[in-house]
């Protein structure tokens, strides 16, 4: 299995070839040891990533190896840590390689939010317009109230609808993690853009940053929505775009104001949720559950930095972005053993991972 010490060796030999023998080789761009002055770099469209040794960043390599080993013990298939666009650690398990493509569940919500924001920037979409303006009357089961439900409400998981698309509270007043309401955004994107969802995503996001991936019909549940499938490195590319505030190698891909809007708390009872992004900076949060589920005190992930934002998916699919540390951390796999349930987003894995990363990175 891949060990983070292999990355240090890769800097000398010019190629990452360590691991379980099944990762795709990665051409390395050697750099002189002055990491704190290094700018952010971006992987090529062909898949070449720069790497950097964790020791040169002052990280505790023993603690980092232990953290990575623990991740591997938790039903994980991929684990990638990127600092300023350079791979610090990358490991695969259970037959996976850097080229393995698989669904990322609700972590894809943050990808869709980015595409929606691009349509707003282009002009044909207004977040504060009623959903009926784009889908017509009758898209919900509460026609008298649906005129007050805006696109913004869908992005904030604050539509006021239940899973049957019936209004149960006033729109904009309560957080409720509602997939049937979220799925309406796919129809909005396709109707406003005049493109299918994959073309709309490739045009505005995937192609400019060299990200693969495909929206697939969510056949697991039979719900009328899509679920995103990509590699762990594609997840890291998307995180790096967010880390770079919407720019990619000098080119503006996502409007910077939209990047910031996605990170602003939305529902009044959940400071840990923006626009299809999870936020760590508030002193209270709500997780997926009933409408009357109370707001929990404290940070979403106490051991993580306050400025962490996250795309979180069922079965512990994770994309963490930490601007203060210049970090992107990705985890893919099945539901972690530490959970013992079926988490839709936040789980015990998040806090336990960041406790271990805190020991390694010393932030």
| Mean pLDDT, all residues of the chain | 90
Exposed, middle or buried: residue 350 (CB in 10 Å: 0-12, 13-18, 19+)?
buried
pLDDT of residue 239: 98
Task: Give the span between the Cα atoms of 159 and 151, in whole angstroms.
Answer: 9
pLDDT of residue 15: 33
Cα 328 to Cα 12, 179, 286: the distances in Å are 24, 26, 24
pLDDT of residue 225: 83
pLDDT of residue 220: 64
Task: Give the span between the Cα atoms of 206 and 191, in whole angstroms.
Answer: 20
Cα 155 to Cα 150, 191, 255, 262, 335: the distances in Å are 9, 17, 17, 9, 25
Q: With 50 as the cut, is the pLDDT of residue 22 above it?
A: no
Q: With 60 as the cut, is the pLDDT of residue 5 above it?
A: no
Contacts of 21 (CB under 8 A, 6+ apart): none
In this predicted model, what pLDDT tens digit does every residue of 324-339 receive, in sequence order? Answer: 999 999 999 999 999 8
Strands 86-92, 50-51: pairing is parallel
Exposed, middle or buried: residue 233 (CB in 10 Å: 0-12, 13-18, 19+)?
buried
1 compared with 33, residue with greater pLDDT: 33
Task: Give the span between the Cα atoms of 170 and 163, in whole angstroms.
Answer: 15
Average pLDDT of the residues in 219-226: 70
307 compared with 7, residue with greater pLDDT: 307
pLDDT of residue 188: 97
340 compared with 357, residue with greater pLDDT: 357
Angle between helices 108-122 and 232-243 in degrees, nearest 10: 50
Average pLDDT of the residues in 203-224: 87
List the chain domain ranges.
5-92, 102-346
- Asked if residue 346 lies in contact with residue 280, where contact means CB atoms within 8 angstroms, the answer is no
* 67-11-97 Cα angle (round to 5): 55
Cα 78 to Cα 84, 220, 246, 285: the distances in Å are 19, 22, 25, 28
Domain 102-346 annotated CATH 3.40.710.10: yes
Average pLDDT of the residues in 182-188: 97
pLDDT of residue 26: 43
Task: Give the span between the Cα atoms of 229 and 124, in whole angstroms.
Answer: 27
pLDDT of residue 222: 61
pLDDT of residue 18: 37
In this predicted model, what pLDDT tens digit does every residue of 265-282 receive, in sequence order? Answer: 999 999 999 999 999 999
- Phi, psi dihedral angles at 209 (to 5 degrees): -110, 5
In this predicted model, what pLDDT tens digit does every residue of 25-71 receive, in sequence order? Answer: 343 444 444 567 899 999 999 889 999 999 999 999 999 999 999 99
Percent of the chain clearing pLDDT 70 (strictly above): 88
pLDDT of residue 297: 95
Q: With 70 as the cut, is the pLDDT of residue 112 above it?
A: yes
Determine if the pTM surpasses 0.85. yes
Q: With 90 as the cut, is the pLDDT of residue 219 above it?
A: no
Per-residue confidence band for 318, with pLDDT thresholds at 50, 70 and 90:
very high
Mark out the alpha helices in 263-309 (DSSP H runs): none
Average pLDDT of the residues in 107-128: 97
């Amino acid at each position: 299995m891949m060990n983070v010490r292999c990355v240090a060796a890769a800097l000398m030999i010019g190629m990452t070839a360590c691991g379980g023998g099944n990762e795709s080789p990665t051409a390395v761009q050697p750099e002189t040891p002055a990491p704190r002055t290094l700018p952010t770099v971006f992987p090529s469209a062909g898949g070449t990533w720069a790497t950097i040794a964790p020791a040169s960043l002052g990280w505790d390599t023993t603690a980092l190896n232990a953290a990575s080993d623990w991740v591997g013990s938790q039903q994980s298939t991929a684990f990638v840590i990127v600092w300023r666009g350079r791979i610090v650690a990358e490991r695969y398990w259970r037959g996976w390689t850097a080229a393995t493509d698989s669904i990322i569940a609700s972590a894809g919500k943050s990808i869709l939010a980015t595409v929606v924001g691009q349509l707003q920037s282009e002009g044909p979409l207004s977040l504060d317009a009623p959903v009926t303006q784009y889908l017509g009357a009758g898209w919900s089961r509460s026609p008298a109230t649906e005129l007050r439900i805006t696109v913004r409400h869908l992005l904030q998981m604050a539509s006021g609808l239940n899973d049957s698309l019936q209004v149960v509270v006033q729109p904009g007043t309560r957080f409720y993690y509602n997939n049937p309401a979220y799925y309406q955004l796919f129809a909005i994107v396709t109707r406003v853009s005049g493109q299918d969802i994959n073309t709309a995503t490739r045009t505005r996001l995937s192609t400019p940053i060299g990200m693969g991936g495909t929206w697939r019909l969510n056949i697991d549940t039979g719900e009328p929505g899509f679920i995103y499938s990509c590699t762990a490195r594609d997840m890291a590319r998307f995180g790096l775009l967010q880390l770079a505030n919407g720019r990619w190698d000098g080119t503006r891909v996502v409007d910077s104001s939209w990047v910031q809007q996605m990170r602003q708390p939305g529902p009044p009872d959940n400071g840990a949720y923006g626009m299809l992004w999870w936020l760590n900076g508030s002193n209270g949060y709500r997780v997926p559950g009933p409408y009357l589920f109370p707001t929990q005190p404290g940070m979403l992930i106490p051991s993580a930095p306050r400025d962490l934002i996250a795309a979180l998916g069922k079965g512990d699919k994770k994309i963490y972005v930490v601007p203060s540390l210049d970090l992107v951390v990705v985890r893919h796999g099945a539901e972690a053993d530490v959970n013992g349930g079926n988490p839709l987003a936040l789980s015990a894995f998040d806090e336990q991972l960041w406790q271990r990363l805190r020991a390694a990175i010393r932030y």
